[in-house]
Amino acid sequence: MNSAQTLNVVVTAIEQVTPLIKHFTLAAVGGDPLPAFSGGSHIIVVMHTPARAHRNPYSLLGSPRCLDRYEIAVRRMEESRGGSHYLHDHIRVGSRLEIAHPVNLFGLDKIARKHLLIAGGVGITPILAQLEELQDGSTPFELHYAVRSPQHAAFAQRLRERAGASLRMYYDSENQKLDIDALLSGQPLGTHVYACGPAGLIDAVVATARNLGWPGSHIHWERFAAPPVGDAFEAYLARSQRSVRIPSDRSLLESIEAAGVEVPYLCRGGVCGYCRTRVLELDGELVHNDHFLSDAEKASGASIMPCVSRARCERLVLDL
Q: Which helix (H) or strand (E) holds 73?
A: strand 70-75
* 198 interacts with ligand FES by CB under 6 A: no
Choose one: 22-30, 77-85, 272-280, 293-301; the region binding ligand FES (CB under 6 A).
272-280
* Close Cβ partners of 314 (under 8 Å, ≥ 6 residues apart): 233, 234, 283, 284
* 128 interacts with ligand FES by CB under 6 A: no
**Separation CA 138–CA 280 (nearest Å):** 51
* 305 interacts with ligand FES by CB under 6 A: yes
* 275 interacts with ligand FES by CB under 6 A: yes
* Nearest residue (CB) to ligand FES, 263 versus 282: 263
C-beta separation of 292 from 68 below 8 A: no
* Nearest residue (CB) to ligand FES, 191 versus 303: 303
| Residue 113: CB minimum distance to ligand FES, A | 30
**Separation CA 300–CA 303 (nearest Å):** 8
**Separation CA 297–CA 317 (nearest Å):** 18
**Separation CA 283–CA 286 (nearest Å):** 10
* 100 interacts with ligand FES by CB under 6 A: no
* 267 interacts with ligand FES by CB under 6 A: yes
Q: Smallest Cα–Cα separation from 318: which of 240, 248, 254, 249?
A: 240
* 290 interacts with ligand FES by CB under 6 A: yes
Q: Three-class SS of residue 235?
A: strand
Q: Smallest Cα–Cα separation from 255: which of 268, 270, 244, 243?
A: 244
User: Within 247-266, which residues bind ligand FES (CB under 6 A)?
Assistant: 265-266
Task: Compute how many residues bind ligand FES; rule: CB under 6 A.
Answer: 14
* 272 interacts with ligand FES by CB under 6 A: yes
3-state helix, strand, coil in the chain (%, to 5): 25, 30, 45
Which positions from 63 to 92 touch ligand FES by CB under 6 A, shown as an x/- string?
Answer: ------------------------------
| One residue of 237, 292, 304, 311 binding ligand FES per CB under 6 A | 292
Calculate Rg over the CA atoms of the chain.
Answer: 20
| One residue of 271, 286, 293, 311 binding ligand FES per CB under 6 A | 271
* Nearest residue (CB) to ligand FES, 42 versus 115: 42
* 57 interacts with ligand FES by CB under 6 A: no
Q: Binding residues for ligand FES, per CB under 6 A?
A: 265-268, 270-275, 290, 292, 305, 307
